[in-house]
Amino acid sequence: MLAERIAHPATTREQVAFAALVESAAKAAIALTLSAPAFSEFVLSGRLARVPPIRDAIGRLLEHSGPVRVLDGIASTAKEAAQGAALIADGLAGGRYSMLVERLGIRQAQGSVIDHLYVVSPAAARRQLGLS
């Protein structure tokens, strides 16, 4: 398993890869706190969050900026992204997670990432992608 190999680096290249992974994850998380006015904790999620050396190294870098925990999913066999999609689907259907959908403003969402391009015009990007 690649994650286990990165988590226990044996070569200089693997040590650099481990350090880069941990540092970039921590920097991204800290940068996101600037966009989240109600930030209260860091929640690690995904396969790498379940690999102790990786999780612990990221946690050590983040703990000075806020509490760190690993996401407890709603299912033990589904990936976190699939679980998130299920929560949103439930909320859109008026279920238990409808407040999540309301809080995120999903029903009011419009447009796409293509609408915000500057180097290539949105029209050119749509043509190139076959979306026009």
- H or E element, residue 20: helix 12-33
1 pLDDT band (50/70/90 cuts)?
Answer: low
Tokens 């050119």 sit at which residue?
124
Which CA distances in Å does 5 have to 1, 47, 50, 58?
6, 14, 14, 17
pLDDT in tens, 67-124: 999 988 777 777 888 888 999 999 999 999 999 999 989 999 999 889 989 899 999 9
Has residue 5 got a pLDDT over 90? no
pTM reported for the whole predicted model:
0.66
